Amino acid sequence: MKILVTGGSGMVGKCIKDLIGLYPTHGFTFLSSKDCDLTNRYETQCYFQNGCFDYVIHLAANVGGLYKNMNKGIEMFSDNIKINENVLEACKRYSVNRGIFVLSSCIYTPEPSKFPMDESMIHEGPPHPSNEGYAYAKRMLELQCRQYNKKFNTKYMCLIPVNLYGPYDNFRNGDAHVIPDLMARFHKDKINDDESIVFGTGEPLRQFLYAKDFAKLILNVLLDDTNIQSMICCNDEVKISKMVDVLSETMEMDKEKMSFNVDMPNGCMRKTVSNEKLKSIYPYFKFTSLKDGLRETYTWFKNNYPSNVRL
């Protein structure tokens, strides 16, 4: 099978690329924004027409951390709506009838009817105001996939990861997610012997997922005849403060030089989701622990900083 991976130069795309040796009967194409502008309908159509793909793994998105979401909501909504619409239209037109489409746990409402939230609750209540542009675009992707499946009998499946981190992440200050942002800032502070400040109180609860684990799950779902509409991919829940403790120990930080700036916004305090469906389908899947995942990520970071990491 010929498999197209959009967003192929991003963290998850590169983690998938590290695994393709395990699938020698499949051919993978990793698409980056340099190859095709997926916000452009004509370019997207031409690329799919020339590629003759069988499956798609759709990772491409305008994505970032809390502060990028707060400051660039218009761009994140508009870009992601265009990207998703163009990719789905091209898939249907050029007979790509099976694929993985990636959402995010941030699409859920911060005030649900119950915790943990499951796949049936994607559209329950508004998302948190801090990321509503990105969240609504991702919600619409689930709706679009569902409508295509209903009308054309396609198998477009939505996977919903929690906060991803790992090798190849975006460590640029200002638009990175919480773990890579902290890792990059802590590393600079350690080199310069500066104090390290964590934004917010540390009280919000989060679930973190190692990107290599998510890459494995994507390939499992795509290639083993699983047929689902949506599935949450998550690991255990921890407080931000606990994650910071594990990260600081991993990086051998001086904890006396660390503090929380409680005047900075926390974002959503809790967005706990359930992996009950995942466990029922893959009962023996083994997640990487937060400690091991952070250690492997920091090793990669040190080996690539500063030459290959744009901060």
Residue 231 lies in a domain: yes
Collapsing DSSP to helix, strand or coil, 55 comes out as strand
Domain count, the chain: 1
Contacts of 11 (CB under 8 A, 6+ apart): 164, 166, 167, 168, 169, 170, 211
- Sign of the Cα pseudo-torsion (255, 261, 264, 265, in order): positive
Strands 98-102 and 155-161, sheet pairing: parallel
Residue 311 lies in a domain: no
Residue 151 lies in a domain: yes
Q: What is the DSSP string of 266-306?
A: ---S---B--HHHHHH-TT--PPPHHHHHHHHHHHHHHHTT
pLDDT band at 272 (very low <50, low <70, confident <90, very high): very high
Q: What average pLDDT is seen over the chain?
A: 94
User: Which candidate, 106, 71, 56, places its Cα nearest to that of 209?
Assistant: 106
Enter the pTM of the model.
0.94
Residue 232 lies in a domain: yes
Which residues are known catalytic residues?
A: 134
We report the CATH number of the domain holding residue 66 as 3.40.50.720
Q: What is the DSSP string of 236-271?
A: -EEEHHHHHHHHHHHTT--GGGEEEETTS----S--
Is 60 exceeded by the pLDDT of residue 278? yes
For 101-138, write each residue's pLDDT tens digit: 999 998 999 999 999 999 999 999 999 888 899 999 99
- ω into 283 cis (within 30 of 0): no
Domain membership of residue 74 as a residue range: 2-304
Return the pLDDT at 174: 64
Collapsing DSSP to helix, strand or coil, 54 comes out as coil
Residue 272 lies in a domain: yes
Residue 163 lies in a domain: yes
Residue 73 lies in a domain: yes
Return the pLDDT at 208: 97
Is 80 exceeded by the pLDDT of residue 40? yes
For 176-234, write each residue's pLDDT tens digit: 788 999 999 999 999 999 999 999 999 999 999 999 999 999 999 999 989 999 999 99
For the segment 282-297, the average pLDDT, to the nearest whole number, is: 97
| Buried b / exposed e along 251-273 (16+ C-beta atoms within 10 A) | bebeeeebebeeeeeebbeebbb
Residue 310 lies in a domain: no
pLDDT band at 139 (very low <50, low <70, confident <90, very high): very high
The residue written with tokens 């007979």 in the block is 95
Return the pLDDT at 20: 97
Return the pLDDT at 3: 98
Q: Which run of H or of E encompasses 222?
A: helix 211-223
